[in-house]
Amino acid sequence: MRLLDPLRFPIGSPHVKKHLSDSERSKLIDQIESAPALLRQAVAGLTDSQLDTPYRSNGWTVRQVVHHIPDSHLNAYIRFRWALTEDFPKIKAYNQDAWAHLADACYGPVEESLALLDALHPRWCRLMRAMSKRDWLSKVMHPEDGLRTCEDFLIIYAWHGRHHIAHIPSSPFHSALEVRNFPIPVFGRFFFGDMDY
Ligand code: NI
59 close to 8: Cβ distance less than 8 angstroms: yes
State in Å: Cα 157 to ligand 1 middle.
Answer: 9
State in Å: Cα 76 to ligand 1 middle.
Answer: 11
State in Å: Cα 96 to ligand 1 middle.
Answer: 7
pTM of the model: 0.88
φ and ψ of 58, to 5 deg: 65, 15
Confidence of residue 176 (pLDDT cuts 50, 70, 90): low
Surrounding ion ligand 1 within 5 Å at CB are 197
Residues 88-138 have pLDDT tens digits of 999 999 999 999 999 999 999 999 999 999 999 999 999 999 999 999 999
pLDDT (0 to 100) of residue 177: 52
Looking at residue 101, the DSSP 8-state letter turns out to be T
Residues 62-71 have pLDDT tens digits of 999 999 999 9
Please give the full DSSP string across 75-97, using - where no structure is assigned.
HHHHHHHHHHHSSSPBPPP--HH
* Sign of torsion over alpha carbons 168, 173, 177, 183: negative
State in Å: Cα 194 to ligand 1 middle.
Answer: 7
